[in-house]
Chains A and B, each alone.
Chain A
Amino acid sequence: MNRFSYLRASSVSEAVAAVAGDPAARFIAGGTNLVDLMKYDVEKPGRLVDITRLPLNAIEETADGGLKIGALVPNSDLAYDQRVRRDYPLLSSAILAGASAQLRNAATTGGNLLQRTRCYYFYDVATPCNKREPGSGCSAIGGATRIHAILGASDSCIATHPSDMCVALAALEAVVHVQGPKGDRTIPIADFHRLPGDTPETDNTLEHGEMVTAVELPAPRFGAHHTYLKLRDRLSYAFALVSIAAAVELDGDVIGEVRVALGGVAHKPWRDADAEGALKGALPSSSAFADFADRLLSGAKGQGENDFKVELAKRAIVRALGQAAAGTPQVQSVKQVN
């Protein structure tokens, strides 16, 4: 690990000013990803600003029936919160599908949004990587691509965003609250993460010094009709090859509103609102779900080793929508997929 200075912030504004005024400074909270990256010399901050003593660890009900989750709420506290389990079981399930119990105890809500790709080449400082070192090239293209993108990739980067929580947040249309040197703002989750384009070093739309202070969920609407289906190379404690967050509103026998977000396939959680709209009014059936999956995956392109993910994602979408429509969500400790 490189040498750095340490500041324990006593207010949000102090923390924001300390990071905004120093290009080499980083916020640190749970540290589960940042400390890991520092051990690999991928991240070499000159200064860490510790925000863990700030009062951002509450889950509060909002005036319009939603929840506002403080940025420092640990992933485990969020997943097991009674209101979240009752009203946003999709979010609870997605969080419990990710990482390990130890990591979920330490990792925070804000930090989960900001975790970086697990692309092997991003972590290996001996190889070129445009995300780690802009302009150096992409070693993943033409390399080992099992965990890489099939949607929205570029000639500069084919990395994926690794979060499970964010896939559920995308389906639930969460809003991220941010405080920065220029004041406060809110960012819809769909606009928070970005595609790599020719600047893959930038994972999201935050400016340096802007701090996530909360994540807000709109009022709950999907009841039991949801699922988080995660497919991976071992049965627990592994990143997704493909994951599906699905939520369905039924209008009598037919489908009303649908939300489907994909994880493990792109540089951000992947959604297609037009495809979701086209499902409205259809009877829930495997063929309707398969048509939806074809549409959501239109434009998908494998990188060779991960070509299988296109078909895997389509079939997983059909299963997930079936689970959501039936109100029989995947339970994360049950490894059989029905």
Chain B
Amino acid sequence: MAQAQAAATSVTLTVNGESKTLDVAPWETLLDVLRERLHLTGAKKGCDQGQCGACTVLVDGRRVNSCLQLAVMRDGCEITTIEGLGEPASLHAMQAAFVKHDAFQCGYCTPGQICSAVGMIREGHAETAEEIRELMSGNLCRCGAYTNIVEAIEEVLAERNAPKLEAAE
């Protein structure tokens, strides 16, 4: 039988591959837990209202706005943040493509852009530049690096699709 909880509840989250058990209040968002409790400050608190995408992380492999997730509801989930995708010495392909294509200026939206792009490629519905733009529209970039962001994502998509084409020959 489920119990009503007014105070802190113990939850276990697997964050970037590490199991973390902590007490959270019902009103703590996943974003706040990641940033303030686990000190993973890659995901950004831009608008805190699900409008900018800077807080995007992967929950069980799916990209979501962590500012709109209550941490208590994500008990048992696997969370991947930008810190879990790659390290400076071993960048994820998407991180490397963002650097190569100069796909940012101030960098504030970049962790969310990259997590979102990784999630989008896993979803498997983007092929063309138009589809990338449409399916990345939940990530705003006030510096206006969109052109280079699309180019970076296109390159990762092409690299990902290349082996399949060779295998088909």
For the complex formed, measure the closest distance between the CB of A334 and the CB atoms of chain B, giving whole angstroms: 7
Is B119 part of the contact surface with A, judged by Cβ < 8 Å? Answer: yes
Name the A residues within 8 Å of B90 (CB-CB).
none
Q: How close is A232's CB to chain B, nearest CB, in angstroms?
A: 11
Interface residues of B in 1-53 (CB under 8 A from A): 1-6, 9, 25-27, 29, 48-50, 53
Report whether A7 and B3 are in contact in the complex, using a CB–CB cutoff of 8 Å: yes
Pair A5/B138 contact, Cβ less than 8 Å: no
Q: Is A35 interfacial (CB-CB < 8 Å)?
A: yes
Main SS of the interface on chain B? mixed
- Collect the chain B residues with CB atoms within 8 Å of residue A105's CB: 62-64, 119
Q: Are B130 and A36 in contact (CB under 8 A)?
A: no
B152 within 8 Å of A by Cβ?
no
Q: Is the CB of A103 within 8 A of B138?
A: yes
Let me know if A308 is at the binding interface, CB within 8 A: no
Q: Which of A1-15 contact B (CB under 8 A)?
A: 1-10, 14
Whether, in the assembled complex, B116 has its beta carbon less than 8 Å from a beta carbon of chain A, the answer is yes
Q: Using known A-B contacts A35-B68, A80-B125, determine if residue A101 contacts B116 with beta carbons closer than 8 Å.
A: yes
Task: Say whether B101 faces chain A, with CB atoms less than 8 Å apart.
Answer: no
Contact A9 B68 (CB under 8 A): no
Given known contacts A28-B73, A101-B116, A5 and B134 CB-to-CB distance under 8 angstroms: no
For A15, the closest partner residue in chain B by CB is B2
Total interface residues on A, using CB and 8 Å?
A: 40
Is B135's CB within 8 Å of the partner chain A?
A: yes
Given A9, A10, A333, which contacts B134 in the complex, CB threshold below 8 Å?
A: A333
Which residues of B (59-101) have their CB < 8 Å from a CB of A? 62-65, 68-70, 72-73
- B65 touches which of A47, A106, A333 (Cβ 8 Å): A106
Closest to B73 in A: A50
Nearest-CB residue, chain B, relative to A74: B62
Q: Could you say which of B62, B63, B73 contacts A52, with CB atoms under 8 Å apart? A: B73
A102 sits at the interface (CB 8 A) = yes
- Chain A residues lying within 8 Å of B5, measured Cβ to Cβ, are 5-7
* Contact status B49-A36, CB under 8 Å: yes
Other-chain contact of A32, B26, B65, B73 (Cβ < 8 Å): B65
Q: Is the CB of A14 within 8 A of B2?
A: yes
For B61, the closest partner residue in chain A by CB is A105
Of A31, A99, A335, the most chain B CB neighbours within 10 A belong to A31
Q: Is the CB of A6 within 8 A of B50?
A: no
Question: Which residue of chain A is the closest to B131 with respect to CB atoms?
Answer: A333
- Residues of B close to A236: CB separation below 8 A: 133-134, 137
Given contacts A4-B26, A47-B4, contact A31 B69 (CB under 8 A): yes
Complex Cα gap A7–B26 (Å)? 9
Are the CB atoms of A28 and B70 closer together than 8 Å?
A: yes
A218-241 Cβ-contact flags toward B at 8 Å (1 or 0)? 000000000000000001110000
B128 proximal to A (CB < 8 A): yes
CB distance from A260 to the nearest CB of B (A): 25
Are B137 and A6 touching (Cβ within 8 A)? no
**Any chain A CB within 8 A of the CB of B56?**
yes
| Beta-carbon contact of A334 and B130 below 8 Å | yes
